[in-house]
Structure 1
Amino acid sequence: MPANPLRRLWPRSLQGQLLLAVALALLLAQAISATLLYSAQNDRRNAALVHTAAMRLLPVARGDVALIPEDSPITRTRPRGMRLQVADAVAMLPTDRRDAESEAELRRVLTEQGIDFADVRVIHRAFVDDLPAQRRLDERRRLRPDRRLLKPDRVMLAAVRMDNNPRWLIARVLVPAAGFRPGLTLVGQTLLLYGLLVGVIALILGRLTRPLQALTLRTEQFATTRDTQGQLAPQGPDDMRRLITAHNAMEGRIASLLDEKDVMLGAIGHDLKTPLAALRVRIEGVEDEGERSRMAATIEDIVRTLDDILSLARVGRPSDPREPTDLTALIGQVAEEFEDLGEAVEFTPVQRIVLNVRPTWLRRAVRNLVANALRYGKTARIALTRDNDDIVIRIGDDGPGIAEEHIGRMQEAFVRGDPSRNSATGGAGLGLALARAIAEQHGGRLELTNRPAATGAIAGLTATIRLPAA
């Protein structure tokens, strides 16, 4: 399934996500502010247009100035601006739009000026659809050639019908193209706010998240080494200091428990192996060779189980360092060991792969998985490949596989596919658990999957160790 590109752009750190949240909140606030400012500017603009139209209508409505016919020459007795029109009706074009708010404002202005009127209309019309407005603009350009006149995008018609006159008195006001004048100011304010707020918040978040990041790295280091050296000194706010102090104390307790466990297991191993060695010597005196062989096999089985238990206990705190290892050669040696014993093990090297590992432990894991495949499937096929960022070791067999509901439990200690505990079918059920622990020790994982046959049945089991290539 392809990854979502937005998910890749989303910051992963706490600081990045908080900064992005603040930036988005600020962007939303500025968008709301810009919308309100634009609405206020538009209201002021419409009010100014209405007042301009009212100033042209009032002198004629009050009778202070006589209306000049459309075909008369321009004189100083006409109202300023575009001349008025008298019409029997206010014609509405299909693209015209009435403005109820502007009509209410015009009524208010006329009422305050003591004008008695019967009706008021305010209509917005496209400039290209209004011939009188186009003629007036051309006339202005002829009279004032030195003045640059912008072509408007629409015309506002303010029409008033007086109480004592059935005809309409119409004033036209050219409306320039709408523009958001404070746009640059808002952009500048937004950039300034972004710089100040995001900068200050970044400093605060840095003080909060730096100790958290250090604690995360320390936790990852302790999970790998189980070493209490290099604990963090309390830093940051009081809550973070308390967290670091509590974490240091927890590390100390965990390390003490692990040390006690190692000492206890070492003592148990020593106390058990000593009598087992003595018992191995004493059985040499048994005359019955068959009985003596069975007793020796039982002792060897106990010793192997004890070694697995001690190895599983020590795998979390390895003492040997990692070293560059040729995995192809390492796996080839394991395959040769089993081939020398007459076992059916197949391994065909494809490419040379070198990786920093603990070779003793990884050899133990591969050996356990191969032995498991031979025990239940009679054959073992080993493959070593590189899969993107992983190094993959696969061991497949032709056995009965594992029921899907039991695959997860099979990697736990003392869990076996065969419930009987005897040397013929296996040990104590520690092989897979030890292999899983060794894979996790190297930062990888163990996977168990059934291989389906053509008939739908299980054709075998594939055990896969995935190790990070880096």
Structure 2
Amino acid sequence: MMRLWPKSLLGQMLLAVALALLVAQSISAALLFRAAENRREQMVLNAAAFRLVMPSEPEFRERRENRQSRRRGEFRGWDRQNNGLPDRARALRPEQSPTSPALPGERRAANKEQALGEILAEQGFDVAELVVVSRMVADDGYLDGRPRIKRRIVRNYGPRARLLVAGLRQSPDADWTIVRVPEPPRQPGPIRTIVLQTLLIYVLLVGLHFLLLRRITRPLNILTARTENFARTQEPAQPLVAQGPDDIRRLITAHNAMEARIGALLDEKDVMLGAIGHDLKTPLAALRVRIESVEDERERGKMADTIEDISRSLDDILSLARVGRAGDPPERAELGALVASVVEEFEDMGQPVTLKETTRVAHPVHVTWLRRALRNLIGNALRYGGSAEVSLIKSDSGIVLRVDDSGPGIPADRIAAMLEPFTRGEASRNRDTGGAGLGLTLARAIAEQHGGQLVLANRPTANGTSGLRAEIRLPSA
């Protein structure tokens, strides 16, 4: 499922601004729409009140209408303004009826009755009973007998035009005075205005935020790429140019100083390790020559084994120190062939190593280092489990180089400790049984050099005994 929330800082900030703006404009649109509806409803109610307070005689009503229009500003210009009632709709004269204007089953508009009652009360008009309903023009029987008026209303307001029908009785035994006022349709003007306003604000606000955030995130992206590259190669490059806001400039300057310092420390470490290796290997080589003069063959063999053990331990220490400082970039290799060649090396030496499930996978790796890590895992399986089964598995999550053994496994509370330097499965310093305790540590460092990880876990075997499973998990290319 595609993530709707972006991962980058720029995307998240822009989306947050856009959502906040959308919510604010939605609230504003709702308020404007409600205000426009209130104005439209108020104009219809004012028109209904104006007609209810007029006398029934046509001539006097026309004169009174003109006088009232000049006296009360709320009625002035009703017939000439937007949403107003056309002059030809004046043919909807008040009707006198002994029955209520509400049809059977028709729902009364209580809120409009209250508003209309307040308008009439402000004019000093007595109200004994007031009924207000809203109905379709096609449902009004009064207009069925006046087809010309009905056609005019439909032509002016549309086929779904509605009528506000208001009935007033000034005393309980009086007839109803009924007036009908066409309800103007909702005007798209406010909605169109808010949509255009929203688009304009989006262009200006989101555009300005984009430029501002781009000025912040661009140097951050460059700094992130530089940090990732330095973590992978451990080779400092030319200092980054400080750019962006002052906070970002200070961060870049601090990173340049830190990278230069770390690079200098790594260079010093390489020089020191090179000197240590030279100073130790030279006397070891001299010892190899001198032990040849020892006449006791058994003692000479013990001395040679000790010297060889020290040399291999020294090689492991120097290799561990050099992991991650490879000068050459990774090369794309076929991992299935690499795994098969390592297994074949052990088979040629008569070791019980079996090649299990494999697949063809091309992946950029440091071949020499990855081969070294796989050898260490197989050697560890042979040392403690007596045999090894090697597999290469590819999945959607990445690539797994797996080595299984049938040994006693590792206690769960010691698995993490086994990955630390100089930690052995048993206390002996004999390389055939305990070793120097650097094989798994070196394999873990090589896996991390490739952006992966080394995972150890106990597994049940077919006969019920436990075994250890070591996996180098590499991310997909």
CA distance in 2, matches of 1:368, 1:252: 34
Structure 1 distance, partners of 2:339, 2:90, is: 103
Note the C-alpha offset of 1:94.
Answer: 3.8
Letter in 1 for 2:422: F
Aligned amino acid, residue 130 of structure 2: V
C-alpha spacing 1:85/1:420, structure 2 compared with 1 (3 Å): farther
RMSD of aligned Cα (Å): 3.0
Stretch moving more, 10-19 or 80-89: 80-89
Match 1:281 to one of 286, 289, 314: 289
Q: Once the two structures are aligned, what percentage of the paired residues are identical?
A: 53
1:269-324 residue CA offsets vs partner (Å, 9 max, x unmatched):
22222232333333333333223322322222222111111111110212344334
Cα offsets for 1:376-396 (capped at 9, x unmatched)? 111112222432363332212
Aligned to 1:366: 374
Change (3 A) 1:226 1:134: farther
Do 1:350 and 1:384's aligned partners in 2 also have CA atoms closer than 8 Å? yes
Using the size of structure 1 for normalisation, the TM-score is: 0.86
* Alpha-carbon distance between aligned partners in 2 of 1:164 and 1:322, rounded to the nearest angstrom: 99
Could you say which residue in structure 2 is the equivalent of 1:18?
13
Q: Which residue of 1 aligns with 2:109?
A: 98
| Compared CA separation, residues 223 and 350, structure 1 to 2 (3 A) | closer
Q: Which residue of 2 aligns with 1:73?
A: none
Note closer, same or farther for the CA distance 1:328–1:103 as it changes in structure 2 (3 Å cut): closer
Structure 1 residue 446 displacement after superposition: 1.8
Correspondences of 1:151-230 after superposition (within 5 Å): 151-152=159-160, 154-163=162-171, 166-175=174-183, 178=186, 180-230=188-238
1:201 Cα deviation after fit: 1.1
Unaligned runs of 5+ in 2: 63-86
Residues 297-336 of structure 1: pairs in structure 2 closer than 5 A: 297-336=305-344
Q: 1:402 to 1:164 in 2, by over 3 A?
A: closer
CA distance 1:403–1:56, shift in 2 (3 Å)? same
Task: Give the CA deviation at 1:441.
Answer: 1.2
1:87 matched to 2:94? The reply is no
The structure 1 segments of at least 4 consecutive aligned residues displaced by more than 6 Å after TM superposition are none
Identify unmatched segments of 5+ residues in structure 1.
Answer: 67-75
Give the TM-score normalised by the residue count of structure 2. 0.85
Structure-1 residue corresponding to 2:254: 246
Q: How does 1:363-442 map to 2 (within 5 A)?
A: 363-388=371-396, 390-442=398-450
CA distance in 1, matches of 2:248, 2:267: 28
In the alignment, is residue 124 of structure 1 matched against residue 130 of structure 2? no
Greater Cα offset, 247-256 or 298-307? 298-307
CA distance in 1, matches of 2:154, 2:281: 113
> What displacement does 1:370 show?
0.8
Match for residue 42 of structure 2 among 47, 63, 72 = 47
Aligned residue number for residue 237 of structure 1: 245
1:467 to 448, 451, 474: 474
Q: Distance in 1 between matches of 2:414 and 2:343?
A: 28
Structure-2 residue corresponding to 1:59: 54
Alignment coverage as a number of residue pairs: 451
